[in-house]
Amino acid sequence: MNADEVKERYAAGERDFSGTDLSGANLSAADLQRVSLWRANLSNANLAGANLSGADLLGANFSEANLTRAVLCGANLSEANLTSALLHGTNLRATLYNAATQFPPLFDPTKAGAYLIAPQGLLAGANLSGVDLSSANLMGADLSRADLWKGILRDANLSQANLHQANLIGADLNGANLSGANLKQANLLAADLRNANLQNSDLQGAIYDETTQFSPNFDPATVGAYPIAPSASLVGANLSGANLNAVDLSEADLQEADLSQSNLFGVALRQANLRGAKLTEAGLWEAELIAANLTAADLSKADLWLADLTEADLTGADLRAANLFGASLHSANLKQANLTGAIYNEATQFSEDFDPTSSGAYLIAPGTSLTGVNLTGADLRGADLTQADLSKAKLFGTNLTETTLEGTNLTGAIYNEATQFPSSFDPIKGGACLITPGVSLCGVDLGEADLTGADLSKTNLFGADFSKATLAAVNLTGAIYNEATQFPEGFDPTAGGAYLIAPGASLTEANLSTADLSGADLGGANLSKANLSKADLWGVNLSAANLEGANLEEANLLGANLTAANLSNVNLTGANLDGADLTDATLKGIDLSQVNLEGAILLGAIMPDGTIYND
């Protein structure tokens, strides 16, 4: 069979080409997804750019084949021979192989994203959805948090395997050996476990529903698994991080249950009892919570986009920083509920007598005033903030992709590298300030900014105003400031790791590597044993400064004032002292062989050999 015949038959719907001899065949750029080439001979074949995703390539011979930029995502390469194969740019993400698979020397399949299917295999978090692992030996393998959605694990050996929090929705585990396996908090919705060996397995906190199939006489509830069904009793259940997408838990008793960070998209919780439940950061998009009891529930940072909370009881509930875009809270009881930092839009419905802004919530709408508000981590995708005032707002990690920001005032707003803006939008031009390690904040007014927990390591704070800023737990390691920098009363920047750059400053052993100190005044400062490698010291005043034993490797001292400075035993390898004034400086113990002294003034300097320079 030749390449053209394979492509023609594949196009006609045929998929099984097991054992076919295709040595030397030209199948470059061929689309052969999910083809079966079980033990086929593809030696010396040209498969550059071919799509073999999901293919069964068990035992196939690819020796000296060209697989450059080929796609083998999810393919099965167990027992395959790839010796001397060209694998430049080959996509092996989620490709399966075993101990018998042969790769070219020095090629590491795990670095390419492939998964080793073997006893004790390390597959934590692996994406194996839909993969056929029938009869695979995964005894003792780590499959914690692995995605095995609709995976085929029929008759697989999973004894002693770690399947903690694994996604086994719809998986076929019929006849699988799960003896001694860790199935804690595993998702078994619609899974087939008929004839599976569950002896001594741990199903504590695992979830199942009426479509999950177990062996006759096996009762999962007796071993600590949770039934997901209407009216289910789940008091105090630990369902944190669970995927409960679109399940029906109407009238279920979930008092004090932990549903934090769980996926509850489209879930039905009508008249459910969620009193005191923990729903922190839960995804409740389009959830039905009509007449649900959420008294004293923790919904902080929960995403309630388009959720229906009509007539729900939210007395004393914590809704801080929750997303209420388009949510219906008509006739809901919000007495004593905490909505501080919650966001809502014009589509959100509250009872007529309830004012969300007086409870601390923020209206996200065109022209609205959000001056100085904390929107850390808020999801504002697609929101319309045309002409809104976001001056001095905190936008750390805020998602503003596809948000309309035409005419939005961002003067003095702060954001970090986790903040997402619309493509082509420049927040700096809008007046916002980037807070990130190593940035220059010279002269920036952050007088009232909330910088709690911010990373300001190695930043330049010369002349910055933090006089009324909140600086709790801020990281100032290696940051530099001067006498013009203003901090809140009683705040000690040096305790946070910052360095005062000023005449006479004590900077012994300070780490100022790569710092921009150009033009700074450090006259008479003590910088003994300080690390100033690659620092920019252009035009700096270091007259009478003590630099004994300091590291100035590759530092830029162009035009620096070093008159009467002590440079004994300083490392100046690769330093630039072009035009520097070293009058009366001490240079004992220095190797000047790799130092640029062009134009430097050395009059009266004590040279490395102890002589005084008088030329």
Question: β-strands 328-329, 349-350: how paired?
Answer: parallel
* Residue 593: partners with Cβ closer than 8 Å, 6 or more residues away: none
Nearest C-alpha neighbor of 208 from the set 154, 168, 258: 168
How far apart, in whole angstroms, are the C-alpha atoms of residue 575 and residue 169? Answer: 63
Domain ranges of the chain: 1-116, 364-430, 435-500, 502-615
Q: pLDDT tens across 230-284, in order?
A: 999 999 999 999 999 999 999 999 999 999 999 999 999 999 999 999 999 999 9
Instruction: State in words which class domain 1-116 has.
Output: mainly beta
Give pLDDT, residue 594. Answer: 86
Across the chain, mean pLDDT equals: 95
Helical spans, DSSP H, in 154-199: none
How far apart, in whole angstroms, are the C-alpha atoms of residue 478 and residue 412? Answer: 24
Evaluate whether 417 touches 397 at the Cβ level (below 8 Å).
no
Task: List the beta bridge partners of residue 76.
Answer: 56, 96
Q: pLDDT tens across 515-549, in order?
A: 999 999 999 999 999 999 999 999 999 999 999 99
pTM: 0.79
Regarding the domain with residue range 502-615, which homologous superfamily does it belong to in the CATH classification?
A: E3 ubiquitin-protein ligase SopA (2.160.20.80)
Evaluate whether 77 touches 96 at the Cβ level (below 8 Å).
yes
- Give residue 385's region: left, alpha or beta (phi > 0; psi -120 to 50): alpha
Give pLDDT, residue 217. Answer: 87
Give pLDDT, residue 76. Answer: 93
DSSP 610: S
Give pLDDT, residue 548. Answer: 97
Give pLDDT, residue 143. Answer: 97
Q: How far is CA 7 from CA 4, 68, 70, in A?
A: 5, 19, 16
Nearest C-alpha neighbor of 479 from the set 492, 498, 465, 466: 498
211: exposed, middle or buried (C-beta count within 10 Å: 0-12, 13-18, 19+)?
Answer: exposed
pLDDT class for 131, splitting at 50, 70, 90?
Answer: confident
pLDDT class for 130, splitting at 50, 70, 90?
Answer: confident
What backbone torsions phi and psi does residue 358 show, to the nearest 5 degrees? Answer: -70, -15
Give pLDDT, residue 198. Answer: 96
Give pLDDT, residue 384. Answer: 95
534: exposed, middle or buried (C-beta count within 10 Å: 0-12, 13-18, 19+)?
Answer: middle
How far apart, in whole angstroms, are the C-alpha atoms of residue 598 and residue 144? Answer: 63
Evaluate whether 534 touches 551 at the Cβ level (below 8 Å).
no
Q: pLDDT tens across 19-63, in order?
A: 999 999 999 999 999 999 999 999 999 999 999 999 999 999 999
Give pLDDT, residue 240. Answer: 94
Reduced to 3 states (helix: H, G, I; strand: E, B; else coil), residue 3 is helix
Measure CA of the first residue to CA of the last residue in the chain; give whole Å: 89
The reply to whether 364-430 shares the fold of 1-116 is: yes
Q: pLDDT tens across 154-177, in order?
A: 999 999 999 999 999 999 999 999
- Provide the 10 A C-beta neighbour count for residue 525: 27
Give pLDDT, residue 296. Answer: 98
The full DSSP string for 582-594 is -TT-B-TT---TT
Question: Average pLDDT in the 409-434 region?
Answer: 94
In this structure, of 159-163, 225-229, 434-438, 591-595, the range with the lowest mean pLDDT score is 591-595
pLDDT class for 614, splitting at 50, 70, 90?
Answer: confident
* Residue 204: partners with Cβ closer than 8 Å, 6 or more residues away: 184, 185, 223, 224, 225
Q: Is the pLDDT of residue 615 over 80?
A: no
User: Would you state the CATH architecture of domain 364-430?
Assistant: 3 Solenoid (2.160)
Question: Average pLDDT in the 10-25 region?
Answer: 94
Reduced to 3 states (helix: H, G, I; strand: E, B; else coil), residue 378 is coil
- Provide the 10 A C-beta neighbour count for residue 509: 11
Q: How far is CA 443 from CA 438, 439, 450, 457, in A?
A: 15, 12, 17, 17
pLDDT class for 1, splitting at 50, 70, 90?
Answer: confident
How far apart, in whole angstroms, are the C-alpha atoms of residue 93 and residue 71? Answer: 9
Give pLDDT, residue 527. Answer: 98
Question: Average pLDDT in the 584-601 region?
Answer: 92
Q: What is the CA radius of gyration of the chain?
A: 33
Residue 247, both tokens: 């399940």
Q: Is the pLDDT of residue 554 over 90?
A: yes
SS3 content of the chain, % helix, strand, coil (to 5): 5, 20, 75
